[in-house]
Amino acid sequence: MVVEEYLLSRQTEEWVMDFEKVGRSRMMMRLPRHRKQISDANFLAINDLLEAYGLAAVKRDELREQLMPDPRNMEEYEDLCQKLEDDIIKMLASVSPRMVR
């Protein structure tokens, strides 16, 4: 999958970005109604989704900054980000309050 390839290429760089934190922050901006719930949610499934979203969103933004990005890659990352957002919303809707901090 493209996300795993991107993550592997990022591991070779000197700095390491906390993609879970990036994803959580971006989702809190995208979904202000769910800001508190996103902030408080701390369990493996949501953390993994937020990390994947952070990684995909950073890559999507990098593609958007290119003068002539590959349209297939651009579409793939736009779709991936939307699917991850949808999955996060579904998970937040179905999570028990006990699973939130």
- What is residue 73's predicted lDDT score, i.e. its pLDDT? 95
* Two tokens, residue 89: 């919303």
- pTM for the model stands at 0.80
Q: Across the chain, what does the average pLDDT equal?
A: 87
Residue 36: C-alpha distances to residues 28, 63, 98 (Å): 8, 30, 14
Mind listing the pLDDT tens digit for each residue in 78-100? 999 999 999 999 999 998 766 66
Query: Tokens in use for 64?
Result: 């958007």
CA proximity to 1, closest of 86, 88, 80, 89: 80
Name the percent of the chain lying above pLDDT 90. 76
pLDDT in tens, 34-72: 999 999 999 999 999 999 999 999 999 999 999 999 999
